Amino acid sequence: MASILKSLRMLADTNRLRLLLLLEREELSVAELQEILSMGQSRISTQLAQLKQAGLVEDRKQGKNSLYSLKDRTLVELLQSAGREVEEAEADSKALQLVLEKRRDKVRSYFDELAGKFGRNYVPGRSWKGLAETLLQLMPPLVIADLGAGEGTFSQLLAQRAERVIAVDNSANMVEFGARLAAENGIRNLEYRQGDLESPPIADGSIDLAFFSQSLHHALHPQKAVAAAYRLLKPGGRIVVLDLKRHGFEQAREMYADTWLGFSEVELRGFLESAGFGGVQSWIVDAEKQAPAFETILAVGVKAASV
């Protein structure tokens, strides 16, 4: 049993307490703890080393990784009591569930690997464009809101199969440019409207699919934008959010006018669930190798059919 005095000193630090609360529930690797806590590897490793030295945690090897767990089970009751005073504990718990879901999702891991190989070697006739065009043809005719559409490149692609696409952007220049381009190309089921993500100029309950493509991180209040999308949707309608995973590339604020430096999967899921969406899921669908190594999250949800 660890020294009571040492244990109390360890618990006095909020970050170490968060680590212990997680390790009391599940055996986790450093990489998984990084994902849950959004902390750097060196910081987590230092905290774990201190906790291990104090006799509070233990580790075991699993392949190339070390898995950490709570060693001193006499602390459980104290941890749970202290945890109720930690503001981040609830978010950590949700992030833990997401990490455990990823562990179980062997199919996702397989397709992540498969996607990484696609296009790596040249094969005549095989391309991402060809695959995207094929998938678009499989899409049923829907009424779609492309929220934060920019010049509307994606809106124009969706319009190939959609019943109707409404592209919304707050920039008058973007709306003018996109509308002109659509007219020049004879795309008659695509309409551009100027408006804000948090109050799009679209009637409530009129949309089958609300889509945010790398636009939510430009919203002043992203949760309000998601809630607005919920109101636009018909019962049974879907939301799709494609956005950056939270990162530390501060220059993005100046270079790309980003308001938020991406979001964690837990945050995105939280936005959707708080708005009322069910069946919420998310995936990391792309990871760039070159610095600043942006990662892309895809999150989806459904508005209940009985609403």
For residue range 166-209, what is the model confidence (pLDDT) as tens digits? 999 999 999 999 999 999 989 999 999 999 999 999 999 999 99
**56 shares a domain with 185:** no
Name the band, by pLDDT with cuts 50, 70 and 90, for residue 229.
very high
Rg, the chain, Cα only: 23
> Is residue 54 predicted with pLDDT exceeding 90?
no
| Domain limit, last residue, from 76, 103, 130 | 103
**86 shares a domain with 118:** no
**142 shares a domain with 94:** no
Q: pLDDT at position 1, please?
A: 47
The CATH number of the domain holding residue 121 is 3.40.50.150
Across 30-55, average pLDDT:
89
Q: Is 89 part of a structural domain of the chain?
A: yes
- Reply yes or no: is the peptide bond before residue 292 cis, omega within 30 of 0: yes
The CATH number of the domain holding residue 27 is 1.10.10.10
Q: Is 60 part of a structural domain of the chain?
A: yes
**115 shares a domain with 197:** yes
Q: Is 307 part of a structural domain of the chain?
A: no
**51 shares a domain with 74:** yes
| 117-167: pLDDT as tens digits | 666 677 777 777 787 788 888 888 999 999 999 888 889 989 989 999 999
**160 shares a domain with 77:** no
Say what the pTM is: 0.72
Domain count for the chain: 2
Q: pLDDT at position 169, please?
A: 94
4-8, 119-123, 210-214, 273-277: segment of lowest average pLDDT: 4-8
